[in-house]
Amino acid sequence: MLPRGRDPVFVVNIGVNDVGKEQEFDKAIDFYTQAIELNPTVSVYYGNRSFAYLKSEYFGSALNDASKALELDKNYVKGYYRRAGAYMSLGKFKLALKDFEMVTKACPNDKDAKMKFTECNKIVRRMAFEKAIAVDDCRKSVADTIDLENMCIEEDYTGPQLENGKVTDSFIKELMQNFKDGKKLHRKYAYKILLDVKEMFKKQPSLIDIHVPDGKKFTICGDIHGQYYDLLNIFQLNGLPSESNPYLFNGDFVDRGSFSVECIFTLFSFKLLYPNHFFMSRGNHESQTMNQMYGFEGEVKAKYSSQMADLFTEVFNWLPLAHCVNNRVLIMHGGLFSQDDVTLDEIRKVERNRQPPEEGIMCELLWSDPQPQKGRSPSKRGVGTQFGPDVTKNFLELNKLEYIIRSHEVKPEGYEVAHDGLCLTVFSAPNYCDTMGNKGAFITTEGKTLKPKFVTYEAVPHPNVKPMAYASNLLGFI
């Protein structure tokens, strides 16, 4: 609560300065909400809460607050910055460009604003060009343009090599050590892995059925977000994937963390080696817009090429959207749906080879979040929906399931049990972005009981490369 008799601007600014050091933006949101309740006519309150929402990845709420701030004060320049940031995070670059243009008009000597306007304009122009030349029926796949035969392996290359073009156990172990030592996989082998895993995913349905035998262990991991050294720690704690130690990684393998290339090639290699015992679900960050903004595209271009970045987009389009374990537990990255009566068969039939749409089953599987109250609410993220315990209960009863597991949200302990134990969240990137201070977690269970057990862990050291090192310059919302 704001202390009685204290000026809300003074108190809120103290609160935000304090919690900002620990990246506890939920507390900042609470402070500004209290200030708005005391005086709902101050544009700065909405603008600063918008910033906290942006940092919490609640892009829809950030957009609403920035718009409210500008409604109160059309000359509030930071409001245009905040709203542009929300629009960009939602992939609405044309609308972001309009707001950056307003900033450049208001502050013609602001070099940062001019740079953001220029960069955003480039994206809008590129998207317009790609749309103009795209002909869906005859557009050539990037995969079809890769000429592996003429890619030479240099004599001085000493890294891991595929054996007869195949991933092996020894290849993966050498690959992980190679990455740990800060070295690259040769581009010929990198392309080969991408081409092979794409063909594997193409043959699979949008909903994968997994059978875990009685008494056998199964592990579910949440978001990794390019934190390669924390991924290695999971394997250290829980054992390497194998036919006797199967895993499911539940989306958001890349972006934000600056070792996303190392993460994704490690995971794809395990998928190729153990196709029936290693599983990967698509997350909302396995998309072109997210990759452009949050670092993965920039990282791939820096470590390999723009052609490979485009190939990754094609591969991500084929990632399965959900997994069902023993016909009893459904696992997806985001959550449930804005409509009742969605069945597992409908999920199986989703045409997923595309960029995530802004609504519908595919969108909600990637973007939705649970809420404590009954019913549904508009998503704070601006995409997907928020669903209550009654929605979860009804979905489970309709589909004869016991509970759902999802990821998508940072949790202080790395996991959360909600909706009377029917909705579990698991997040596997500890100290997210080197700032959040959260633990990471994974879930282990066994085939007969499917009772979830949570294993938590702290972040481990990594080389001195900051998160978001390859992210778009447009992400400077302040």
Query: How many Å apart are CA 151 and CA 201, to the nearest integer?
Result: 25
- Which residues are part of the catalytic machinery? 285
Question: Residue 204's closest CA among 320, 36, 73?
Answer: 320
Question: Residue 247's closest CA among 212, 275, 220?
Answer: 220
Query: How many Å apart are CA 189 and CA 160, to the nearest integer?
Result: 9
Cross-strand bridge partners of residue 386 = 369, 377
Strands 415-418 and 423-426 turn out to be: antiparallel
- CB 91, CB 289: distance < 8 Å: yes
Query: How many Å apart are CA 294 and CA 475, to the nearest integer?
Result: 8
Kindly provide the b/e burial profile for residues 84-96, where b requires at least 16 CB atoms within 10 angstroms of the residue's own CB: bbbbbbbbbbebb
Spatial neighbors of 181 by CB under 8 A, at least 6 apart, are none
The number of angstroms, rounded, from the C-alpha of 335 to the middle of its chain's C-alpha atoms is: 13
Spatial neighbors of 460 by CB under 8 A, at least 6 apart, are 229, 230, 232, 233
Spatial neighbors of 363 by CB under 8 A, at least 6 apart, are 356, 357, 383, 384
